Structure 1
Amino acid sequence: MTTTTTPVAFRGRLLAVLLTGQFMANVDTAIVNVAAPSIAAELAATGGQLALVVSGYLVAYAVLVVTGARLGAAHGHRRVFCGGLALFTLASLACGLATGPVTLIAVRFAQGAGAGLMVPQVLSGIQLHFTGPHRMRALGWYAIALSGGAVTGQVLGGLLVSANLFGLSWRPIFLINVVLGVPLLAAARLVLPRDDGRGDRPVTAAPVVALSVSVLLLIVPLVLGRDQHWPLWTWLCLAASVPAFVGFLRVDRRAPAPLIAPEVFRDPLVRNGLLAHGLTTMTYFSLLFVLALYLQQGLRTGPVYSGLAMVSWVVAFGVGGKLPVRFLPRRRAVTGCLVLATGYVAVWVYLLAGGRAGLPLSGLLTIGGLGLGISASALVGTMTSALPDRYAADLSGLITTNAQLTGALGIAVAGTAYLALPVPPATAFTLVLIGFTVLALLGATAATRTTRALP
């Protein structure tokens, strides 16, 4: 896919294909959480094996996103999107047919690798084929695919496992990807613009290895540390990740074909945008996790109810992400972060007043969803407009990886804090929400710097 003036009639089909792939990938970041007990019972998986089934997807996904973006620029976005989707679909089939925990772990890594190749092409495609108001509207739908996918994964996982379709227990949570993936692959081959063969220089091995090691040192302890009670190796890996990332930047700078162009990091719009986007996205993924703990363990509700509790957030997120471009054109990101903080304040005030769950909680969650929708679309729009289209792959990989890593960090910190606090569940949830409020306000500060850097 190269920069073109895409006909209006074609944009809808192009966006539908891209976002369906994004949506499927995001569903699978959450859908296994609900099915984990059933998987453990049927496959006799140990706690460590079950943790790898859940986290293996995220690890492979996070490791390959930046590389996937660069591969798309080098070998064609259409080609890499279709290859990633094919791998994702085949791996999903293998997951659904797995007969043992080791096999399931292996194919979950393969499924995450497919997502890591496919997903970066989505944002690159939007940046290359949509401009002006069309791009902002497309980014609004992109935001819905991101947020809605994770919540849908929770709800759909609960529904499919509870339904026990054809006596298959947890297996339909993976097999449904085959039902969707095969026609989507056919549609992608028909709809996505053909690659013209004039891509970037080929990706070299050194920066790929350096980045993979850096991400693994950070992501593996974050996704496994809490369940293993933070043994020494997790802290050593986290400490080593900092010099590893510094080493990656040096290796990448010297490579003949850098994974991330140095010009991207020099732009203040991008730097502050990534910070604000990371802080606010961190609170969302953490909220998904901690709210599920609060509702299911603290209030003894079921997994389906837990997933449905966030539906109002996703609806509001979609509304916020699709507000007209003329709405606060220079203050959208800051306003969104402040509305997000207000939403968190409203929920913890409700809890302090004695509220626990039900419609009032869902109603208050809409405030946060609206704020995150406004800020996310504005920040991504600002970052993708800050640099020429030739940096589309760099920005796509960075924005997605930023969200994955900050989300994993937030889940690790907030989840550990919630479980470790020696207080009632409602009080622990309130304290975590106060932390989310602080992060949202810090995001507003970074977003203010982004606004000041606008031309």
Structure 2
Amino acid sequence: MTLSTAPATPPAAPVRGRPALLLTIVLLAQFMSLLDVFIVNVAGPTLQAELNASGSELQLIIAGYTIAYAVLLVTGARLGGRHGPGRLFLTGLALFTASSLACGLAGSTATLVAARLAQGTGAALMLPQVLSLIQLTFAGQARIRALTGYAAVVATGAAAGQLAGGLLVSADLFGWGWRAVFLVNVPIGVTLLFLVPRGLPLSRPAPTSRARGLDPAGLLVLTTAVTLITVPLVLGQERDWPLWCWLSFAAGAALAALLAHHSTRLAARGGEPLIAPRVLTSPGMPLAVLRIFLTMAINGGNLFVLSLHVQAPEAAGGLGYGALRAGLVFLPASLAFGAVSLLWRRVPAHRQPALPATGLLLSAASLLTCGLLLRDGADIGVATMAVFALTGVALALAYGPTLTGALALVRPEDAADASGVTMMTTQLGMLTGIAAIGTLYLDRGDPWPAMLALALVATAAAAAGAVARPATRVKRR
């Protein structure tokens, strides 16, 4: 498949004649909400001291957002398909903005954890609509360009969150301290709420397109399965991986298999399962889901390990950087990731299918080099920053073309399901990388074993495409 080739799907009409405004709104909301996955990492020490939070409470504050987000993503996508993506986007944006204010004003850890869960719920309602609106608004090369912008935003959100967190905590705006990382969302969210009615369609879908049911059984099984997988990923390391974590993983995997069986049988009877099997088996999607999961596991694990290492006290083998300096460490990777995510389409069309594997192999080499440079408490110099940038380039080559190539071939009527699946895969990949690689780093106190493990994952992800069947075009109905 040539990634720059327009998919053979019927072109979608521009929304209210202002597709550029629509894309600006949804990508800015996407970026804002993705920042909140990582922006709290750098603010963690300050937040923990002021609220007197325990280690487990701090983990819930940081990861409660991601848990709610990952659990409800597919549900949010299906609700958008049923009630209209513009309406669900507006609802999610309002909840996200209000809960950001609640986070910034929280006076206790319990209040902050509850507000973070509400934030994640708002994001889960809002963000699946971004891909749906792109799929339904743009066609051909315009869709490819829009998806490229989307991939750039997703790719840079994590590193930008670390940087933004460091800047906001160090600046101590209005004496807000850690609260600024949440309150900064409020003016942005209010501005977007004002613009949404001017740029997004807020009408309900036609009755024929709203006929799909919610599949309550599938919704219950998926929500339970994702919860059983994400909660131990977040809390396992802090509690030294007790037996309940492994039992939870096993139960989650069993329910995932049950969901696949249920979806297949329901679709065979003419029903509409929560995740349509044809989406998961559409051209290029299985390999894309695997590579997205592994790439984001690499990205999440890498950022988490580096964040811990640069802020850890020198006596513990870290570098002892402050919040601002720690945030600036991620600037080269963030800029490189964003730039390459926007520019990879300039590669000749016949070479684009090779970009994901090339990026993954390049990331393996850069991660190995990074681990060697940081061994034995070595400081971060020009060479290390250049390697960080190279890692950003490599992961952008792996992620952007993979996501864009798969979604460009999805039928417009399957846009909601595809949005939920790819975004849930992104979040689960990052959580898995943070849990697995973070544990390896915390157990050893040395970034080298973690970087070696990440390089092996990148190599395996590159090799996965060698045995996959090439994607083909979606045929017209």
Matching residue of 1:216: 227
Name the residue aligned to 1:435. Answer: 453
Q: How many positions carry a matched residue from both structures?
A: 449
Matched, 1:258 2:273: yes
Query: Which residue of the other structure, out of 128, 151, 154, is the alignment partner of 1:143?
Result: 151
Match in the other structure for 1:184: 192
Distance in structure 1 (CA, Å) of the matches to 2:451 and 2:45: 28
Q: How does 1:1-400 map to 2 (within 5 A)?
A: 4-6=12-14, 10-198=18-206, 199-200=209-210, 201-253=212-264, 256-297=271-312, 298-323=318-343, 325=345, 327-349=347-369, 351-352=371-372, 356-400=379-423
Deviations 1:66-95 (A, max 9, x none): 111111101000000000000001111111
Contact 1:141–1:322 (8 Å) recurs in 2: yes
1:376, 1:270 → 2: CA distance? 13
Quickly say closer, same or farther: Cα 1:397–1:162, change in 2 above 3 A: same
Aligned-partner SS, 2:177? coil
Contact 1:219-1:405 at 8 Å conserved across structures: yes
SS across alignment from 1:315: helix
2:3 aligns to what?
A: none
Do 1:340 and 1:370's aligned partners in 2 also have CA atoms closer than 8 Å?
Answer: no
8 A Cα contact 2:371 2:451, kept in partner: no
1:412 pairs with 2:435: yes
Normalising by structure 1, we get a TM-score of 0.92
Distance 2:67 2:371 in 1: 34
CA distance in 2, matches of 1:128, 1:447: 29
How far, CA to CA, are the matches of 2:254 and 2:203 in structure 1? 37
What letter corresponds to residue 295 of structure 2 in structure 1?
T
Aligned to 2:214, what secondary structure does the other structure show? coil
CA RMSD in angstroms comes to 2.3
Measured in 2, the distance between the counterparts of 1:150 and 1:189 equals 29
Structure 1: how far apart are the matches of 2:37 and 2:227? 17
2:7 is matched with: none
Q: Relative contact order: is structure 1 or structure 2 higher (C-alpha 8 Å, sep ≥ 6)?
A: 2
Aligned mates of 1:163, 1:252 — CA distance in 2: 50
**Which amino acid in structure 2 is aligned with residue 283 of structure 1?**
I
**CA 1:39 to 1:261, structure 2 compared with 1: closer, same or farther past 3 Å?**
same
Q: Distance in 2 between matches of 1:387 and 1:358?
A: 44
SS of alignment partner, residue 238 of structure 2: coil
Q: 1:234 to 1:330 in 2, by over 3 A?
A: farther
For 1:171, what is the secondary structure of its paired residue? helix
Instruction: Work out the CA distance in 1 between the residues paired with 2:13 and 2:383.
Output: 46
Whether the aligned pair in 1 keeps the contact of 2:31 and 2:157 (CA below 8 Å) is: yes
Q: Does 1:454 align with 2:469?
A: no
Closer, same or farther in 2 for the Cα pair 1:285/1:333, shift >3 Å?
A: farther
How big is the shift at 1:257?
3.3
Distance 1:283 1:324, change over 3 A: closer
Distance 1:385 1:372 in 2: 20
When residues 190 and 259 of structure 1 are mapped into structure 2, their CA distance, relative to the original with a 3 A threshold, is: same
CA drift of 1:244 comes to 1.2
Once the 2 structures are TM-superposed, how far is the Cα of residue 195 of structure 1 from its aligned partner?
3.1
Q: Would the aligned equivalents of 1:345 and 1:433 in 2 still touch at CA under 8 Å?
A: no
Q: Is the 8 A contact 1:143 1:376 kept in 2?
A: yes
Q: Structure 1 232/194 Cα, relative in aligned 2: closer, same or farther at 3 Å?
A: same
Structure 1, gaps ≥5 residues long: none
Contact 1:35 1:170 (8 Å CA) reproduced: yes
When structure 1 is superposed on structure 2, of 431-440 and 116-125 the one drifting more is 431-440
Deviates more, 1:359-368 or 1:208-217: 359-368
Matches of 1:242 and 1:350, distance apart in 2 = 34
SS of match in other structure, 1:325: helix
Between 1:387-396 and 1:215-224, the stretch displaced more is: 387-396
Shift in Å, 1:324: 5.5
- Percent identity, aligned pairs only? 39
Task: Evaluate the alpha carbon distance shift between residue 270 and residue 184 of structure 1 in structure 2; reply closer, same or farther with a 3 A threshold.
Answer: same
Pair 1:445-2:463 in alignment: yes
Native 8 Å contact 2:367 2:391 kept in 1:
no
Contact between 1:340 and 1:368, CA under 8 Å: does it hold in 2? no
Letter in 2 for 1:275: L
Checking the alignment, whether the CA contact within 8 Å between 1:273 and 1:447 is kept in structure 2 is: no
SS in structure 1 of the partner of residue 419 of structure 2: helix
* Range that drifts further, 34-43 or 276-285: 34-43
Q: Distance in 2 between matches of 1:315 and 1:169?
A: 26
Deviation at 1:7, TM superposition (A): 7.7
Residue 197 of structure 1 deviates from its aligned partner by 2.6
Q: For the Cα contact (< 8 Å) 1:342–1:368, is it kept in 2?
A: yes
- Partner Cα distance (1:379, 1:176) in 2: 32
State the alpha-carbon separation in 1 of the partners of residues 80 and 11 from structure 2: 13
111-120 vs 338-347, which moves further: 338-347
Change over 3 Å in CA distance of 1:176–1:167 after alignment to 2: same
Contact 2:219 2:274 in 1 (8 A): yes
| SS at 1:84 equivalent | helix
Contact 1:273–1:379 (8 Å) recurs in 2:
yes
Query: 1:23–1:145: 8 Å Cα contact kept in structure 2?
Result: yes
Unaligned runs of 5+ in 2: 1-9, 313-317
CA drift at 1:290: 0.7
3-state SS of the aligned residue for 2:130?
A: helix
